[in-house]
């Protein structure tokens, strides 16, 4: 009689891992953990693990795969911890680790005040290369993907390298639920809040005093899109932000302003169109109309490229899933039919 041999039960996945940080360094450990272990909490939330610390010994609890990823991230941050690590450094680092692709070309180098500035995801690096090698580039995608900031960084880089003589930043003054007439001041003061993100990017990349001097010398110009009509913009780096709120006529007008020696970047999010009902987006029309035109580059960002608080990517994902359910529901189909 043959006695059946029972197969051993498969080993359960480890759910606990101890990590000894080396070489021991109290200052480096403090930089890694942050105040009240705030940085560790960011890593816990990102990878859905629990981290307990006792000196240089960290104990990780969670799913096996997530524990391994968290361990690699902790080791990488510990190597960087020769200087203070902020929550922002941790969050940006987590995005880099998630999107790292060693087969991609090296990230383009930009000449700005921010020596550490570079693309955080492969698609951001693709966007930077497209801007540097094309006269017109479209950057499309959700909020937080760096469309505007990286475009401004490329403009500053081109100016610093004397590839252009001035930087022109513009956007349509379309309200998102409010009316310009409700705001105090003259026209320039009314449109200023709409241009604030562009100011903030310039101040971060060049410094407040340098930007103020360039405004005085008219090397930087920020204006509503309506002010572009009738002009020819030569030897300039031009950025049209929030382009989803242009009309087809405005988009055509803008694209035909570009002169010799100029470069243009158009950014927008087709899911956040604030035009009145029944008005077609100039950005959507341009993408369809100019898709086959040589010399124009397109970069389509997704929620995977969001470089803000980790919750932003989850919020974008939740809205996308809700939209898909709404489009697929029988009620939405019946409402769409006359």
What is the 3-state secondary structure of the chain?
CCCCCCCCCCCCCCCEEEEECCCCCHHHHHHHHCHHHHHHHHHHHHHCCEEEEECCEEEEECCHHHHHHHHHHHHHHHHHCCCCCCHHHHHHHHHHHHHCCCCCCCCCCCCCCCCCCCCCCHHHHHHHHHHHHCCEEEEECCCCCCHHHHHHHHHHHHHHCCCCCEEEEEECCCCCCCCHHHCCCCHHHHHHHHHHHHHHHHHHHHCHHHHHHHHHCCCEEEEEHHHHCCCCECCEEEEECCHHHCCHHHHHHHHCCECCCCEEEEEECCCCCCCCCCCCCHHHHHHHHCCCCCCEEEEECCHHHCCCCHHHHHHHHHHHHHHHHHHHCHHHHHHHCC
Structural domains in the chain? Answer: 16-99 (3.30.1370.10), 122-324 (3.40.50.300)
Which residues lie across from 26 on neighbouring strands? none
306-315 residue pLDDT tens = 776 666 667 8
> Has this prediction a pTM greater than 0.85?
no
189-226 residue pLDDT tens = 666 777 788 889 999 999 999 999 999 999 999 888 88
pLDDT of amino acid 266: 97
117-136 residue pLDDT tens = 878 788 999 999 999 999 99
Q: In the structure, what pLDDT confidence band is assigned to residue 231 with cuts at 50, 70 and 90?
A: confident
Q: In the structure, what pLDDT confidence band is assigned to residue 324 with cuts at 50, 70 and 90?
A: confident
- 315 or 292, higher pLDDT: 292
């Amino acid at each position: 009689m043959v006695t059946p041999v029972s197969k051993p039960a498969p080993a359960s996945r480890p759910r606990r891992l101890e990590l000894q940080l080396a070489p021991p360094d109290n200052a480096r450990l403090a930089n890694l953990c942050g105040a009240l272990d705030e940085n560790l909490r960011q890593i816990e939330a990102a990878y859905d693990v629990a981290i307990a610390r006792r000196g240089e010994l960290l104990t990780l609890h969670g799913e096996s795969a997530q524990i391994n990823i968290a361990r690699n991230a902790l080791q990488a941050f510990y190597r960087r911890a020769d200087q203070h690590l902020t929550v922002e450094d941790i969050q940006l680092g987590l995005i880099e680790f998630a999107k790292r692709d060693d087969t991609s070309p090296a990230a383009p180098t930009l000449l700005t005040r921010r020596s550490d500035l570079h693309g955080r995801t492969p698609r951001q690096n693709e966007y930077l290369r497209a801007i540097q090698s094309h006269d017109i580039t479209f950057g499309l995608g959700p909020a937080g993907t760096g469309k505007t900031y990286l475009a401004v960084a490329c403009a500053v880089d081109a100016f610093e390298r004397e590839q252009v003589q001035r930087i022109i930043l513009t956007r349509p003054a379309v309200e998102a639920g409010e009316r310009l007439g409700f705001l105090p001041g003259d026209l320039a003061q009314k449109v200023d809040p709409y241009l604030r993100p562009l100011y903030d990017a310039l101040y971060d990349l060049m410094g407040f005093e340098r930007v103020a001097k360039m405004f005085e010398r008219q090397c930087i110009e920020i204006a509503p899109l309506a002010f572009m009509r009738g002009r020819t913009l030569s030897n300039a780096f031009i950025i049209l932000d929030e382009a989803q709120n242009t009309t087809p006529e405005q988009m055509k007008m803008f694209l035909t302003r570009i002169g010799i020696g100029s470069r243009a970047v158009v950014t927008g999010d087709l899911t956040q169109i604030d035009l009145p009902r029944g008005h077609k987006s100039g950005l959507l029309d341009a993408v369809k109309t100019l898709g086959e035109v040589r010399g124009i580059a397109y970069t389509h960002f997704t929620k995977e490229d969001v470089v803000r608080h980790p919750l932003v990517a989850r919020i974008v994902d939740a809205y996308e899933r809700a939209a898909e359910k709404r489009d697929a529901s029988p009620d939405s189909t019946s409402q769409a039919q006359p």
